[in-house]
Amino acid sequence: MMQLLEYAMALETHRNFARAAKQLGVSQPTLTRGIQELERHFGAKLFDRTRQGVFPTAPGAIVLNGARKITGCLDDLHKEVQASQGFHRAELKLGVGPMVAQTWIPDAVVSLLDRHPSVEIHVATYEWWELVPRLLDRNIELAIGEIAPDITNHSEITVQKLPQRPVRFFCRTGHPLTKIRLPSIKQIGEYAMASTKLPLRAGEHFGGTRALGRLSPNGMYFEPQISCPTFDVCLQIIKSSDSIGIAPLAQLSRIATNSDFAVLPFDAPSLRTNYGIMHLRDRSLSPGAKAFKEQAVTSENGYHGQVGSEEPQPGRKKRK
């Protein structure tokens, strides 16, 4: 039965018998017979076969939801067996938001491997609003990123809040904004912003500044005018244009020694990170996950602790 459920989950993912069979390593007729056997077992049609693809029916969605839960339980059982064997065969599936992925996460991974070199670590980057669904689907064991506003609605998720850290705007050296001693949000908002997608709370200050961006049509996030997949892409755009960027101050302190960029002296209560470490409340954490949680706090403090009391000033290099 488990194999048949795996057939159904693969078909749901690929929406196509040929592609699903290829992923499973079976022939298409074998997959077809397996789905038919599953439908006979439940006495219901589980998939609609259309020219546009294969889609779950209402009974099919129920079966697939149960299949994911069964798979998650088996994964938990596997983790518990691994836990009884210590770190020898430990594995960690980690999901992180795009901004935090390029700050202290690499340091935490390296430090964990220094202490436990046999741990297998799989790091995946997701948009911050995708982290909770990934946890609920048990695709990842730990999630680190922006804490979603509706996180309190998920009683099955535990959140360990991380310290809120200052965030700042920045631009290229020589930008017109660097000639203003204390630029206002209205002045900053005259320029396009290049950034990854931002949480809704950004709209508190950015909503009236059309050049910076706008709320997404689905109301889930603030979309900058220039939406970048990573911070490095943003840097290249900002370096070569009048676009501005936004990032944690600790991250900007590391590029402030580069004369190509300047940090703008604008602060606001909402310009703070709001990150947390999240996992399922009823899921036994693997040894790798437990160790990473401990290391994460140390690495996060170390990364942000290197920021001095004097913030980088526009057009100035940070003293070494």
Residues 6+ apart with CB under 8 A from 6: 24, 67, 71
145 neighbors 131 (Cβ within 8 angstroms): yes
- For residue 253, the SS3 value is helix
Q: Let me know whether 62 and 76 are in one domain.
A: no
Task: Return the pLDDT at 309.
Answer: 37
316 part of a folded domain: no
> pLDDT by residue (tens digit) across 29-64?
998 999 899 899 989 999 998 888 889 899 989 988
Name the phi and psi angles at 59, rounded to 5: -65, -35
Tokens matching residue 317? 């290099």
237 part of a folded domain: yes
22 part of a folded domain: yes
Task: Return the pLDDT at 240.
Answer: 92
Q: Let me know whether 177 and 48 are in one domain.
A: no
More confident residue, 24 or 88: 24
Pairing type for strands 120-125 and 91-96 reads parallel
Residue 315 has pLDDT above 60, yes or no: no
H/E run at residue 172: strand 167-172
Task: Return the pLDDT at 286.
Answer: 81
H/E run at residue 272: none
Query: For the chain, what's the residue count?
Result: 320
- Confidence grade of residue 310 (pLDDT, cut at 50, 70, 90): very low
Measured distance CA(245)–CA(256) in Å, rounded: 13
- State mean pLDDT over 299-316: 62
Q: Let me know whether 206 and 258 are in one domain.
A: yes
Q: Let me know whether 42 and 113 are in one domain.
A: no
Q: Let me know whether 12 and 25 are in one domain.
A: yes
Residue 303 has pLDDT above 70, yes or no: yes
Q: Let me know whether 201 and 176 are in one domain.
A: yes
Q: Let me know whether 233 and 295 are in one domain.
A: no
Q: Which of 68, 93, 112 is the last residue of a domain?
A: 68
Work out the mean pLDDT of the chain and round it to a whole number. Answer: 84
User: For a pLDDT cut of 70, what percent of the chain falls above it?
Assistant: 88
Task: Return the pLDDT at 316.
Answer: 43
100 neighbors 145 (Cβ within 8 angstroms): yes
Residue 181: give its domain's CATH number: 3.40.190.10
Residue 150 has pLDDT above 90, yes or no: no
DSSP result, 71-130: HHHHHHHHHHHHHHTGGGG-EEEEEE-TTGGGTTHHHHHHHHHHH-TT-EEEEEE--GGG
Predicted model pTM:
0.67
Q: Which of 68, 86, 115 is the last residue of a domain?
A: 68
- Confidence grade of residue 319 (pLDDT, cut at 50, 70, 90): very low
- For residue 20, the SS3 value is helix
Residue 61: give its domain's CATH number: 1.10.10.10
Residue 124 has pLDDT above 90, yes or no: yes
Q: Let me know whether 157 and 201 are in one domain.
A: no
Number of domains in the chain: 3
Q: Let me know whether 160 and 209 are in one domain.
A: no
- State mean pLDDT over 69-78: 79
Task: Return the pLDDT at 267.
Answer: 81
220 part of a folded domain: yes
Task: Return the pLDDT at 170.
Answer: 93
Q: Let me know whether 76 and 106 are in one domain.
A: yes
238 neighbors 245 (Cβ within 8 angstroms): yes
Measured distance CA(39)–CA(4) in Å, rounded: 10
Q: Let me know whether 190 and 131 are in one domain.
A: no
User: For a pLDDT cut of 90, what percent of the chain falls above it?
Assistant: 35
Measured distance CA(181)–CA(50) in Å, rounded: 62
139 part of a folded domain: yes
Task: Return the pLDDT at 308.
Answer: 42
> pLDDT by residue (tens digit) across 77-103?
776 666 555 555 567 899 999 889 989
Q: What is the extent of the structural domain holding 81?
A: 72-164+274-305
222 part of a folded domain: yes
312 part of a folded domain: no
319 part of a folded domain: no
Q: Let me know whether 39 and 183 are in one domain.
A: no
> pLDDT by residue (tens digit) across 209-236?
666 778 787 777 888 889 888 888 999 9
Based on the number of CB atoms within 10 Å of its own CB, is 184 exposed (0-12), middle (13-18) or buried (19 or more)?
Answer: exposed
